[in-house]
Amino acid sequence: MSKPSRKIIITCAVTGAIHTPTMSDALPFRPEDIARQAIDAAKAGAAVLHLHARHPKNGAVSIDSEHFLGFLPEIKASTNAVINLSTGGSLRNTVAERIAPAKRFSPEMCSLNMGSMNFSMHPLAQRYNKWKFDWEEPYLRESDNYIFSNTFRDIGMVAEELGTDHRIKFEHECYDVGHLYNLKFCVDSGMFKAPIFIQFVLGILGGIGADLENLVFMKRTADKLFGDQYRWSVLGAGASQMSLATAAATMGGHVRVGLEDSLLISRGELAESNAQQVRKVRELLEGLGQEIATPDEAREILSLKGSDAVKF
Ligand code: KMH
Ligand code: ZN
Protein backbone atom coordinates (compact mmCIF):
# COMPACT_ATOMS: atom_id res chain seq x y z
CA MET A 1 0.00 0.00 0.00
CA SER A 2 1.18 3.54 -0.58
CA LYS A 3 2.34 5.05 2.70
CA PRO A 4 0.06 7.99 3.62
CA SER A 5 2.26 10.99 4.26
CA ARG A 6 1.45 12.92 7.42
CA LYS A 7 1.37 16.28 5.70
CA ILE A 8 -0.47 17.17 2.53
CA ILE A 9 1.22 18.83 -0.41
CA ILE A 10 -0.92 21.43 -2.15
CA THR A 11 0.13 21.93 -5.77
CA CYS A 12 -1.25 25.01 -7.51
CA ALA A 13 -1.42 24.90 -11.32
CA VAL A 14 -1.53 28.59 -12.09
CA THR A 15 -2.57 29.03 -15.73
CA GLY A 16 -2.20 25.88 -17.88
CA ALA A 17 -3.18 25.42 -21.50
CA ILE A 18 -6.87 24.53 -21.35
CA HIS A 19 -8.63 27.73 -20.39
CA THR A 20 -8.55 30.94 -22.41
CA PRO A 21 -8.76 34.62 -21.38
CA THR A 22 -12.42 34.96 -22.42
CA MET A 23 -13.44 32.37 -19.85
CA SER A 24 -12.24 34.30 -16.80
CA ASP A 25 -10.64 37.67 -16.13
CA ALA A 26 -8.75 35.97 -13.30
CA LEU A 27 -6.78 33.63 -15.59
CA PRO A 28 -3.24 35.10 -15.62
CA PHE A 29 -1.28 35.34 -18.85
CA ARG A 30 1.01 38.40 -18.59
CA PRO A 31 4.29 37.42 -16.93
CA GLU A 32 3.77 39.85 -14.08
CA ASP A 33 0.30 38.42 -13.43
CA ILE A 34 1.54 34.81 -13.56
CA ALA A 35 4.29 35.76 -11.10
CA ARG A 36 1.96 37.63 -8.73
CA GLN A 37 -0.68 34.89 -8.69
CA ALA A 38 1.97 32.18 -8.22
CA ILE A 39 3.55 34.08 -5.32
CA ASP A 40 0.15 34.69 -3.70
CA ALA A 41 -0.72 30.99 -4.11
CA ALA A 42 2.52 30.04 -2.38
CA LYS A 43 1.80 32.49 0.45
CA ALA A 44 -1.65 30.91 0.80
CA GLY A 45 -0.13 27.43 1.28
CA ALA A 46 0.83 25.92 -2.07
CA ALA A 47 4.13 24.05 -1.64
CA VAL A 48 4.43 23.30 -5.38
CA LEU A 49 3.70 25.66 -8.28
CA HIS A 50 2.95 23.90 -11.60
CA LEU A 51 3.70 26.45 -14.30
CA HIS A 52 2.97 26.95 -18.00
CA ALA A 53 3.89 29.99 -20.07
CA ARG A 54 1.57 32.18 -22.13
CA HIS A 55 2.13 34.80 -24.81
CA PRO A 56 2.23 38.08 -22.87
CA LYS A 57 0.16 39.94 -25.47
CA ASN A 58 -2.83 37.67 -26.00
CA GLY A 59 -2.60 34.74 -23.58
CA ALA A 60 -2.08 32.10 -26.28
CA VAL A 61 -0.43 28.98 -24.90
CA SER A 62 3.34 29.02 -25.21
CA ILE A 63 6.30 26.72 -24.70
CA ASP A 64 8.82 29.49 -25.43
CA SER A 65 11.60 29.59 -22.83
CA GLU A 66 11.73 33.40 -23.06
CA HIS A 67 8.13 33.54 -21.88
CA PHE A 68 9.03 31.38 -18.86
CA LEU A 69 11.89 33.74 -18.13
CA GLY A 70 9.33 36.51 -17.68
CA PHE A 71 8.17 35.05 -14.36
CA LEU A 72 10.52 32.30 -13.06
CA PRO A 73 13.20 34.51 -11.44
CA GLU A 74 10.61 36.68 -9.69
CA ILE A 75 8.78 33.66 -8.28
CA LYS A 76 12.04 32.12 -7.10
CA ALA A 77 13.14 35.37 -5.47
CA SER A 78 9.83 35.80 -3.62
CA THR A 79 8.95 32.27 -2.46
CA ASN A 80 10.51 29.02 -1.31
CA ALA A 81 7.92 27.04 -3.32
CA VAL A 82 8.96 24.10 -5.46
CA ILE A 83 8.77 25.04 -9.14
CA ASN A 84 7.29 22.39 -11.43
CA LEU A 85 7.43 23.17 -15.16
CA SER A 86 4.92 21.64 -17.52
CA THR A 87 6.20 19.49 -20.38
CA GLY A 88 2.65 19.08 -21.70
CA GLY A 89 1.89 22.66 -22.60
CA SER A 90 0.97 22.22 -26.25
CA LEU A 91 -1.01 19.70 -28.26
CA ARG A 92 0.71 20.84 -31.45
CA ASN A 93 4.35 20.40 -30.49
CA THR A 94 6.55 17.34 -30.16
CA VAL A 95 7.75 16.23 -26.77
CA ALA A 96 11.31 17.21 -27.75
CA GLU A 97 10.04 20.78 -28.26
CA ARG A 98 7.95 20.71 -25.10
CA ILE A 99 10.90 19.87 -22.84
CA ALA A 100 13.16 22.68 -24.08
CA PRO A 101 12.27 25.09 -21.21
CA ALA A 102 12.89 22.36 -18.61
CA LYS A 103 16.30 21.58 -20.15
CA ARG A 104 17.21 25.24 -19.95
CA PHE A 105 15.93 25.98 -16.44
CA SER A 106 16.41 22.57 -14.76
CA PRO A 107 13.57 22.96 -12.20
CA GLU A 108 13.07 20.64 -9.23
CA MET A 109 9.99 19.06 -10.85
CA CYS A 110 8.33 18.66 -14.27
CA SER A 111 5.08 17.12 -15.44
CA LEU A 112 5.37 13.95 -17.51
CA ASN A 113 2.27 12.78 -19.33
CA MET A 114 2.09 9.00 -19.27
CA GLY A 115 0.28 8.18 -22.51
CA SER A 116 -0.98 9.38 -25.88
CA MET A 117 -4.65 10.27 -25.95
CA ASN A 118 -7.47 12.46 -27.18
CA PHE A 119 -7.35 15.64 -25.08
CA SER A 120 -10.18 17.86 -26.14
CA MET A 121 -11.55 21.20 -25.08
CA HIS A 122 -13.93 21.64 -28.05
CA PRO A 123 -17.17 21.58 -26.00
CA LEU A 124 -15.95 24.69 -24.16
CA ALA A 125 -16.11 26.68 -27.42
CA GLN A 126 -19.90 26.42 -27.48
CA ARG A 127 -20.29 28.34 -24.23
CA TYR A 128 -19.07 31.67 -25.62
CA ASN A 129 -20.03 33.82 -28.58
CA LYS A 130 -17.71 36.78 -28.05
CA TRP A 131 -13.98 36.26 -27.68
CA LYS A 132 -11.26 38.49 -26.25
CA PHE A 133 -8.64 37.22 -28.74
CA ASP A 134 -8.85 35.67 -32.22
CA TRP A 135 -6.80 32.57 -31.39
CA GLU A 136 -9.14 31.27 -28.69
CA GLU A 137 -12.11 29.88 -30.64
CA PRO A 138 -10.11 27.94 -33.29
CA TYR A 139 -7.73 26.68 -30.59
CA LEU A 140 -10.61 25.16 -28.68
CA ARG A 141 -12.62 23.95 -31.70
CA GLU A 142 -9.67 22.25 -33.39
CA SER A 143 -8.76 20.30 -30.28
CA ASP A 144 -11.34 17.68 -31.34
CA ASN A 145 -8.84 16.54 -33.95
CA TYR A 146 -5.56 16.49 -31.99
CA ILE A 147 -3.75 13.59 -30.43
CA PHE A 148 -1.80 14.50 -27.31
CA SER A 149 1.25 12.46 -28.18
CA ASN A 150 3.33 10.90 -25.40
CA THR A 151 4.72 7.64 -26.76
CA PHE A 152 7.00 5.25 -24.88
CA ARG A 153 9.90 6.63 -26.90
CA ASP A 154 8.94 10.17 -25.86
CA ILE A 155 8.69 9.14 -22.21
CA GLY A 156 12.07 7.40 -22.39
CA MET A 157 13.65 10.52 -23.85
CA VAL A 158 12.19 12.74 -21.11
CA ALA A 159 13.32 10.27 -18.43
CA GLU A 160 16.87 10.44 -19.74
CA GLU A 161 17.17 14.12 -20.67
CA LEU A 162 15.35 15.56 -17.65
CA GLY A 163 15.38 12.78 -15.04
CA THR A 164 18.89 11.42 -15.45
CA ASP A 165 20.69 14.49 -16.78
CA HIS A 166 18.97 17.13 -14.60
CA ARG A 167 17.75 15.09 -11.57
CA ILE A 168 14.25 16.48 -12.13
CA LYS A 169 11.44 14.68 -10.28
CA PHE A 170 8.33 13.99 -12.32
CA GLU A 171 4.69 14.63 -11.65
CA HIS A 172 3.48 11.61 -13.63
CA GLU A 173 0.17 12.71 -15.11
CA CYS A 174 -2.08 9.64 -15.39
CA TYR A 175 -5.40 10.34 -17.09
CA ASP A 176 -6.64 6.78 -17.15
CA VAL A 177 -5.92 3.37 -15.71
CA GLY A 178 -3.85 2.32 -18.74
CA HIS A 179 -1.43 5.15 -17.99
CA LEU A 180 -0.65 3.50 -14.65
CA TYR A 181 0.34 0.35 -16.54
CA ASN A 182 2.49 2.44 -18.90
CA LEU A 183 4.20 3.88 -15.83
CA LYS A 184 4.67 0.44 -14.32
CA PHE A 185 6.40 -0.71 -17.51
CA CYS A 186 8.70 2.34 -17.36
CA VAL A 187 9.48 1.84 -13.65
CA ASP A 188 10.30 -1.82 -14.26
CA SER A 189 12.57 -0.74 -17.12
CA GLY A 190 14.55 1.36 -14.63
CA MET A 191 13.52 4.79 -15.94
CA PHE A 192 12.33 6.30 -12.64
CA LYS A 193 13.49 6.09 -9.04
CA ALA A 194 11.16 5.64 -6.04
CA PRO A 195 9.28 7.34 -4.66
CA ILE A 196 7.52 8.15 -7.91
CA PHE A 197 4.85 10.87 -7.72
CA ILE A 198 1.59 10.19 -9.56
CA GLN A 199 -0.99 12.85 -10.35
CA PHE A 200 -4.35 11.14 -10.96
CA VAL A 201 -6.02 13.39 -13.55
CA LEU A 202 -9.79 12.95 -13.56
CA GLY A 203 -12.29 14.68 -15.80
CA ILE A 204 -10.41 15.54 -19.00
CA LEU A 205 -12.35 14.75 -22.20
CA GLY A 206 -10.25 11.83 -23.44
CA GLY A 207 -9.47 10.43 -19.98
CA ILE A 208 -11.29 8.82 -17.06
CA GLY A 209 -14.31 10.66 -15.62
CA ALA A 210 -14.21 12.70 -12.42
CA ASP A 211 -15.95 10.67 -9.75
CA LEU A 212 -15.08 9.02 -6.48
CA GLU A 213 -15.39 5.45 -7.76
CA ASN A 214 -12.82 6.19 -10.45
CA LEU A 215 -10.46 7.74 -7.92
CA VAL A 216 -10.75 4.66 -5.70
CA PHE A 217 -10.12 2.43 -8.73
CA MET A 218 -7.07 4.44 -9.82
CA LYS A 219 -5.65 4.34 -6.30
CA ARG A 220 -6.33 0.64 -5.87
CA THR A 221 -4.61 -0.07 -9.19
CA ALA A 222 -1.62 2.07 -8.25
CA ASP A 223 -1.37 0.30 -4.87
CA LYS A 224 -1.30 -3.02 -6.72
CA LEU A 225 1.35 -1.88 -9.19
CA PHE A 226 3.64 0.27 -7.02
CA GLY A 227 3.09 -0.83 -3.41
CA ASP A 228 4.74 1.67 -1.06
CA GLN A 229 7.03 3.03 -3.78
CA TYR A 230 4.79 5.91 -4.82
CA ARG A 231 3.19 9.13 -3.59
CA TRP A 232 0.04 10.46 -5.20
CA SER A 233 -2.15 13.47 -5.70
CA VAL A 234 -5.44 14.22 -7.43
CA LEU A 235 -6.46 16.82 -9.93
CA GLY A 236 -10.21 16.96 -10.53
CA ALA A 237 -10.99 19.03 -13.62
CA GLY A 238 -13.75 21.63 -13.45
CA ALA A 239 -16.45 21.44 -10.79
CA SER A 240 -15.01 18.24 -9.28
CA GLN A 241 -11.83 20.03 -8.13
CA MET A 242 -12.60 20.63 -4.45
CA SER A 243 -14.62 17.47 -3.76
CA LEU A 244 -11.97 15.18 -5.25
CA ALA A 245 -9.20 17.08 -3.44
CA THR A 246 -10.99 16.56 -0.14
CA ALA A 247 -11.54 12.88 -0.90
CA ALA A 248 -7.88 12.43 -1.88
CA ALA A 249 -6.67 14.03 1.31
CA THR A 250 -8.77 11.70 3.44
CA MET A 251 -7.46 8.72 1.43
CA GLY A 252 -3.79 9.58 2.13
CA GLY A 253 -3.07 11.57 -1.02
CA HIS A 254 -1.96 15.05 -1.90
CA VAL A 255 -4.01 17.63 -3.81
CA ARG A 256 -3.76 19.92 -6.81
CA VAL A 257 -5.86 23.04 -7.39
CA GLY A 258 -5.41 26.11 -9.58
CA LEU A 259 -7.01 27.90 -12.52
CA GLU A 260 -5.35 25.49 -14.98
CA ASP A 261 -7.73 22.79 -13.77
CA SER A 262 -10.83 24.74 -12.76
CA LEU A 263 -11.91 28.36 -13.07
CA LEU A 264 -14.45 27.95 -10.28
CA ILE A 265 -14.44 28.61 -6.54
CA SER A 266 -17.80 26.92 -6.07
CA ARG A 267 -20.46 25.54 -8.40
CA GLY A 268 -21.32 28.25 -10.94
CA GLU A 269 -19.05 30.91 -9.36
CA LEU A 270 -15.74 31.97 -10.90
CA ALA A 271 -12.67 32.07 -8.66
CA GLU A 272 -11.05 35.47 -8.31
CA SER A 273 -7.52 34.04 -8.16
CA ASN A 274 -5.39 30.94 -7.72
CA ALA A 275 -4.74 31.94 -4.12
CA GLN A 276 -8.46 31.89 -3.40
CA GLN A 277 -8.61 28.23 -4.46
CA VAL A 278 -5.52 27.41 -2.37
CA ARG A 279 -7.04 29.12 0.68
CA LYS A 280 -10.29 27.22 0.18
CA VAL A 281 -8.70 23.79 -0.12
CA ARG A 282 -6.43 24.56 2.81
CA GLU A 283 -9.42 25.49 4.98
CA LEU A 284 -11.27 22.34 3.92
CA LEU A 285 -8.30 20.12 4.74
CA GLU A 286 -7.41 21.83 8.00
CA GLY A 287 -11.08 21.59 8.95
CA LEU A 288 -10.69 17.82 8.59
CA GLY A 289 -7.69 17.86 10.90
CA GLN A 290 -5.08 17.52 8.14
CA GLU A 291 -1.76 19.35 8.15
CA ILE A 292 -0.37 21.17 5.12
CA ALA A 293 3.21 20.57 3.95
CA THR A 294 5.66 23.44 3.64
CA PRO A 295 7.84 23.53 0.50
CA ASP A 296 10.75 21.97 2.42
CA GLU A 297 8.48 19.22 3.72
CA ALA A 298 7.30 18.62 0.14
CA ARG A 299 10.97 18.34 -0.90
CA GLU A 300 11.47 15.67 1.71
CA ILE A 301 8.28 13.74 0.89
CA LEU A 302 9.11 13.71 -2.84
CA SER A 303 12.93 13.42 -2.54
CA LEU A 304 13.65 16.52 -4.60
CA LYS A 305 17.11 17.81 -5.53
CA GLY A 306 16.60 21.23 -3.86
CA SER A 307 16.08 24.79 -5.05
CA ASP A 308 19.81 25.60 -5.18
CA ALA A 309 20.16 23.10 -8.05
CA VAL A 310 17.84 24.92 -10.47
CA LYS A 311 19.03 27.17 -13.29
CA PHE A 312 17.00 30.34 -13.06
N1 KMH B 1 -3.71 20.31 -17.77
C2 KMH B 1 -3.84 19.13 -16.97
C3 KMH B 1 -5.06 18.37 -17.27
C4 KMH B 1 0.87 19.15 -18.18
O5 KMH B 1 1.01 20.31 -17.88
O6 KMH B 1 1.82 18.42 -18.52
C7 KMH B 1 -2.68 18.24 -17.06
C8 KMH B 1 -1.33 18.89 -17.07
C9 KMH B 1 -0.46 18.50 -18.18
O10 KMH B 1 -0.99 19.63 -16.20
ZN1 ZN C 1 -0.18 21.63 -16.75
Q: What backbone torsions phi and psi does residue 245 show, to the nearest 5 degrees? A: -65, -45
DSSP state of 142: G
Q: How many residues does the chain have?
A: 312
Residue 6's pLDDT is 82
Q: Are 60 and 133 in contact (CB under 8 A)?
A: yes
Mutate to test the pocket of ligand 1, among 110, 260, 261 (most ligand atoms within 8 A of CB): 260
pLDDT tier, 91 (very low <50, low <70, confident <90, very high otherwise): confident
Q: What is the pLDDT of residues 258-277, one digit of tens each?
A: 999 999 999 999 999 999 99
Residue 222, pLDDT above cutoff 70: yes
pTM above 0.85, yes or no: yes
Amino acid at 176: D
Q: Which residues surround ligand 2, an ion (CB under 5 A)?
A: 16, 86
End-to-end CA distance of the chain: 37
Residue 27's pLDDT is 98
Superfamily in which the 7-120+147-309 domain is placed by CATH: Aldolase class I (3.20.20.70)
Residue 4, pLDDT above cutoff 50: no
Q: State what percent of residues in the chain have pLDDT above 70.
A: 98
Ligand 1 centre distance from Cα of residue 240 (Å): 16
